[in-house]
Every structure is written in C-alpha cells, then in structure tokens.
Amino acid sequence: MRKYVAVAIIMAGLVLAAAYLSGGGAPVEGRVALVVFEDYNPHEFETLRSTATEVTVIGAGNLTSGYDVRIEDVKPSDIRGYDAVIFTGGSGLYRRVKSGRVDRDLEPDLPPALLLKLHRYMVLGRRFDERMLTLQRQGRIGTFAPIKGQEASQLGAVAALDPEDWMVPCFREAAAEIWRGKAMEHILLVYAGYNEGGFIPEGVNNLPVSIPVGSQTLHAAGLAYGIRGKKQVAMCFFGDGATSEGDFHEALNFASVFQVPAVFVCQNNHWAISVPRSRQTRSKTLAQKALAYDMPGIAVAGNDVLAVYAAAGEAVERARAGEGPTLIETVTYRMSVHTTADDPRRYRSDEEVEEWTRKDPITRFRKYLLDKGLLTERDVETLEEQVKTEIKEAEERWARLTEKPVDPLAMFDHAYAELPPHLAAQREELRRELEAGKGGEHHG
C-alpha cells in the first residue's frame, strides 16, 4: 500500500490533485505555480526552477517562510493559466498535475460499474434533496439539512466500505444513507416527525441520524472499539463545526490510544451554521489535528469523488488491517442552506456561492465520465427520468406509511433491553389512559 499525504482541490474546472510520493515525479516544465502552505525543502525548489521555464511562488513572503496559505484560500484566479500547479508539503514538493487533466498516476482504478453507480447516487441524492426542500416549503415535512454540494464528499467515502462495516452519520448524509440501504420514504418519515423513520433495516449497519453536533464521534469510537479484531470498520461523518466540540477530541484521543478501526470523515463545508471556517480554528487544515493524536490525517478535495474514494479506501484498508484510525478532511462547500430554518444570505456573499457552484461535484464527475466514454448525454437524460420516478414512488410509499395509525406505546419499546420499573409504570399508566379514552369515544 502506498504511503502518502494527499491533497486534491477542484477549482473552476481545473483538476488539481497532488500527492507527495517518496519516488518523486517527472521533471516539471513550462510555467509553474508553486503554492506554499507548509515548510518545504529549498533544494527541491531549486531543482524545480532548473527545469521549469518560470516559477511563481504563491503565498510565501520569502523562500523560508512556511504555513503561509490555507488550501481553501487558493482562488482559481491565482493559478489559472499555468502549465502545472505544485503544492508544498512537509519536507518536499507535492507532485504536480497539468492543469485541466486527471493525473493518471493518482487516478484510482475503479470498475466502470462502480463509477456509474457513484454518479447515479450523486444525482439521486441531489434530486431527492431538492424534492425534500419543496416538501418542507409546502409544510409537509419539518426542517432538515440539505446536502447540495456535498454529494461527492460523502458518497466517495462511504463507497469504500463493505456492507458489514458501520456508518455513523450526523444529520447531512442522506445520500450516504441511501447508498447504505436506507429507503427514501424512511428519511421522509424522520423529517415528518415520525419516530419510525429512525428504523434501521435488519442487516444494515448504520446508526440513526445524530443531531447534537459532534456527539456521534464518541459513538463511532466506542463502536469501533467493540468491533476490533472482526475485520470491520466504523466510518463517522461530521462537519467542520464539530472539530470545536470536546466530543471530537475525546473521540480521536480514545480511538488512537486503543487503535480502533475507525475512519473519521470531516466534511469541511466552510460554514458551521453562520460561523466561517476561519473563526473555528487557526489550524491551516483540519486534517492536521490528527497529529496531536498520532494518527494519519489527510485533506482531500471533497468535490472530487475519485479523490475522496482514494483517501477513504486507504484509510479503510489501514483500519481493517489493524493499523488504527484515520482523520479525513474533505474540503467541500455547502451550496444550500445550513437547514431550512437558515438564511445564508445574512452571512455569506453571492459571489462566494457562485464560485463554488462552478466547482459542482456532479458537473465535474459527469464530465469525467463523458470524457471516458462511460456516459452519453442520452444516458444522463434517461437517468434523470429514472431518478424522478424513484423519488415519486418513494414519496407515495411515505404517504401511505403516514396514513397508518401510530401506537404511542411504541416509544417505550426500543430504549432498553429490559424496561426499568419507573418506565414500565409510566407505560402501564399511559396504556390505561389510552384504553379509557377509547372507551369514552365508544360510549360517547
């Protein structure tokens, strides 16, 4: 297995994937942009300058300064027009990728069926998300957290899991839940306020949605502790805001100390509700927080489903082999509202949203598949029709489920294996009240 620290960023149609490889790369020629975000080896810079026609350093006041720029601070205009873009990292230079092209050395070797499945679920997740937003505006479901813009971030990660592995979501992983076998009608039930929506089918190793920020990281650490030695992995999702919670640090510390088979996926969408990433931490990346717990940390382009899959695949492989946990930061963007109770226009600019809209993960991945000859425009049209039908049928099933009578006593059934005496007494009291109410209705 190849050992490296990797970064991949998608900017306005450019494919910028970078990985520091011990073997280095071919000489870089032409006009080169060197983005400095960590200390680097000046000797390697001199080697670069000896082969390139021109080298422009971005983010460095001088050649000895390091940690001058965050990954997410690099704008498309900063790197447009160069023949190659290189990121510095650690003690050497990150391998370059020519602008607008996939680096074939880093491209994961995925079968066409899996590539098309990823595209299908990205589209399904987006369209289902849009339909739920309509249902919420109609008052048919309550508030929820849209996933728009983060489809690649979660699907690329969860696709690396086997069915027997565990997924621990927060509240913005609808596409990943569907990939893992949760029915869309049950997701609708959750946001319509039905407890039954949290039901996990037998044989599906998912935990229910977790609303408190960061609390599920502890659940994942404990779950992973319990499956040690079973060749299973627990993957936990959370946002950048969760890294400011104590639960996050306790979970990573525990996971590393006991070397549990866990993969922690931080979807850095730049905003913790209305709090920007810059007000969360002074760390140049969120991935580097893994250093404090002596575990691998990797920052990857969350809008590049292939980059996410590659990073997650290696992390899962390490965990399954008993080599402990990994922290993955997927650098992505929340293109919609935090939840449907939020108005992002109050705290972020339209220009910022437009810039990230040009990096739409579905648009990027679809272009990749079209270029590879795995997809045609006609295929896209057919897929859109199929997805529309699937969502409509799921909505009809959801409507039928909501017409069924609900037993209030069911609230006592799944909290404990054996109901404590005080809850058993409450259940019995409620049962008597319900029976009395029925009797009154019958005779009234």
Other CB atoms within 10 A of residue 110 CB? 17
**What long-range pairs does 422-431 form, CB within 8 A, spacing at least 24?**
none
Contact (CB, 8 A) for 14 and 358: no
Tell me if residue 416 is catalytic.
no
The one catalytic residue in 96, 119, 277, 334 is 334
**What long-range pairs does 396-404 form, CB within 8 A, spacing at least 24?**
397/183, 397/185, 398/184, 398/185, 398/188, 398/189, 398/192, 401/185, 401/189, 401/194, 401/196, 402/189, 402/192, 402/194
The one catalytic residue in 219, 277, 318, 338 is 338
**Both structure tokens of 131:** 């339909």
Q: Which residues contact 359 (CB under 8 A, 6 or more apart)?
A: 10, 11, 12, 303, 333
Q: Is 231 left (phi over 0), alpha (psi -120 to 50) or beta?
A: left
**Both structure tokens of 169:** 């979501």
From the number of C-beta atoms within 10 Å of its C-beta (0-12, 13-18, 19+), residue 211 rates as exposed
Tell me if residue 442 is catalytic.
no
Can you point out the beta strands (E) in 243-391?
262-268, 271-272, 275-276, 297-301, 326-331
Rounded CA gap, 21 and 25, in Å?
A: 8
Contact (CB, 8 A) for 48 and 93: yes
Tell me if residue 443 is catalytic.
no
Nearest residue to 365 (alpha-carbon basis) of 15, 35, 41, 94 = 15
Nearest residue to 71 (alpha-carbon basis) of 94, 55, 98 = 94
Nearest residue to 235 (alpha-carbon basis) of 138, 332, 325 = 325
The one catalytic residue in 137, 279, 345, 347 is 347
Contact (CB, 8 A) for 20 and 42: no
Q: Which residues form the catalytic set?
A: 334, 338, 347
